[in-house]
Structure 1
Amino acid sequence: MPLTSIDALVELRNLTFGYGERVILDNVCLSIPRGKVTALMGASGGGKTTILRLMGGQYRAQSGQLLFDGQDVTPMDQTQIYAARRRMGMLFQFGALFADLSVFDNVAFPLREHTNLPESLIRDIVLMKLNAVGLRGAHDLIPSDLSGGMARRIALARAIALDPELVMYDEPFSGLDPISLGTAARLIRQLNDSMGLTSVFVSHELEQTFVIADHVIILANGKIAMQGTPEQVRQSTDPLVYQYVNALSDGPVQFHYPGPSVAEDFGVEACV
């Protein structure tokens, strides 16, 4: 059953976006359900991170609409965009912590930037957010003291510091060992449910994604190849989706980039 506008926090309506003449998203329609965990998946270069940047107003649609809580982000001015962003949190692919700030000050940064709260209250909020990701005891460390998994969790604490409605994650599992990966996946699910968030994450990691996601959207060739529950995606007979879910080298996504034939490039015919 398709989502209604009331059910969706974010909607793309006939949205087209590209870089120059290269179209990345071609007349795409999709909905991000409120209060759920949605995964954006598909082959590299399919537009997953681009959708996150459109949602945050970093990019603007060339045609169509991107609605956040019913408001089109595309025509917003800077003041309106900043107001919308205060209702969003973002976890960048490798954390993007400020290297010269402590863990505490990294998490406190959005609170100091966007609120007039007293430092005593900021302290309590920061320690609460760090406690939620299991790293309250690390508040005096600096980013160079952290493992990759710890840095990602600190970045997550920063992303939820302002109690956002929407949290976006750009490949939160990239480069993590199996223990850290499992921890990150559980945190996304637990924080989404306990804080009443709407979560959207880009992922290539099938196993953990299918465990925690309520809704999966697979992008390919500028279109939506498939969307549904993890089980519906697993059972899809669409050739492209089947190839992706089963990690097959042979299928609609070709190993070789299009180009001249081997005979043309190597002059095989001339040698015969």
Structure 2
Amino acid sequence: MTSRSVPSSADSRPPLVELKRVTCGYGERVILRDVEVAVPRGSVVALMGTSGGGKTTVLRLIGRQIDPMAGQVLFDGIDISTLDRDALYAVRRRMGLLFQFGALFTDLSVFDNVAFPLREHSGLPEVMIRDLAMMKLNAVGLRGARELMPSEISGGMARRVALARGIALDPELMLYDEPFAGLDPISMGVAARLIRELNQSLGITSIVVSHDVDVTFSIADQVVFLANGGVVAQGTPQQMRESSDPLVRQFVDGEPDGPVHFHYPATTIEQDFRMGPR
């Protein structure tokens, strides 16, 4: 992995993304309660924790796919819940998203997948779109695969094409939803290196949702652990490795039982298996 350039503590600018006392959920089911998270500009922040802990929900809040029940979600100081449709779309154009498993358009070539957001939003002539799309593909090492279809490339390559598409409009913020899921070790290492290098070379800010401890810790500046409806721990990867919090220890060490139980809550075995008439 490349060495990290940690954002300077002397940077007095407010965080690019900030959740202030956010409570949200789906219907009546609350997923996050009174959550506070700040994402410094230029950093790579990892969201980790148990399945169902609210990591992807945070990404949906930032993109305003859902609104909080309470609290504020700020992007560059703007409360995005107050924006009308045009203003919201303008803010979203400042964000890039790498979907889990890439989510490429299957009927478009590699090149056309990357060119798609440029054609939709930039208003640039086709000759400039071609050059920009080729530059993005070159940045992820896939300029030579531009004419291939998604069905003709590997899962790791598809994730890199999706990353090129995500940075096509030069976003200020990149959101990654499980970018390492299903990848072999080589592809995983390539994806991690690209996230770190692009964050640094493009001067962007990145939020990475991931379950892979080792590879995520190798590229993150800060780690936020979400569980039980809130933030249970946050700090540098080294601080998380040294944490004595039982839930963090269970997650980092991969223990099958602990604060997150192996067995789903149930009645006693005696009650479930007792003999006799029902």
Q: Same fold (TM over 0.5)?
A: yes
Whole-angstrom CA distance in 1 between matches of 2:75 and 2:244: 32
Counterpart contact for 2:14–2:77, Cα < 8 Å: no
- How far did residue 73 of structure 1 move? 1.1
2:88 is aligned, of 81, 87, 98, to: 81
2:255 is aligned, of 237, 242, 248, to: 248
Q: Which runs of 5+ in 2 are unaligned?
A: 1-8
Aligned residues: 269
1:5–1:96 CA distance, 2 compared to 1 (3 A)? farther
1:34 is aligned, of 37, 41, 52, to: 41
The aligned residue for residue 168 of structure 2 is 161
Counterpart contact for 1:95–1:152, Cα < 8 Å: yes
What does the per-residue CA deviation read over 1:130-165, in whole Å, with 9 as the maximum and x for residues that have no partner? 000000011111100010000000000000000000
Indicate yes or no: 2:268 matched with 1:257. Answer: no
Indicate yes or no: 2:55 matched with 1:48. Answer: yes
Whole-angstrom CA distance in 1 between matches of 2:149 and 2:56: 28
Whole-angstrom CA distance in 2 between matches of 1:191 and 1:62: 34
1:235 is aligned, of 242, 264, 276, to: 242
- 1:1-272 superposed matches below 5 A: 6-267=13-274
Whole-angstrom CA distance in 2 between matches of 1:7 and 1:136: 37
Counterpart contact for 1:5–1:70, Cα < 8 Å: no
Whole-angstrom CA distance in 1 between matches of 2:94 and 2:27: 31
Whole-angstrom CA distance in 2 between matches of 1:181 and 1:50: 24
Counterpart contact for 2:23–2:68, Cα < 8 Å: yes
Q: Which amino acid aligns with 2:128?
A: L
- How far did residue 12 of structure 1 move? 0.3
Counterpart contact for 1:91–1:172, Cα < 8 Å: yes
Whole-angstrom CA distance in 2 between matches of 1:59 and 1:244: 28
- How far did residue 80 of structure 1 move? 1.4
What does the per-residue CA deviation read over 1:1-44, in whole Å, with 9 as the maximum and x for residues that have no partner? x9998241000000000112221000100101110111000010
What does the per-residue CA deviation read over 1:31-59, in whole Å, with 9 as the maximum and x for residues that have no partner? 01110111000010000001001101111
1:148–1:114 CA distance, 2 compared to 1 (3 A)? same
1:3–1:261 CA distance, 2 compared to 1 (3 A)? farther
Whole-angstrom CA distance in 2 between matches of 1:4 and 1:29: 20
**Superposition CA RMSD, Å:** 1.5
Whole-angstrom CA distance in 2 between matches of 1:252 and 1:137: 48
Q: Determine helix, strand or coil for the equivalent of 2:248.
A: helix
Whole-angstrom CA distance in 2 between matches of 1:6 and 1:59: 27
Q: Determine helix, strand or coil for the equivalent of 1:74.
A: helix
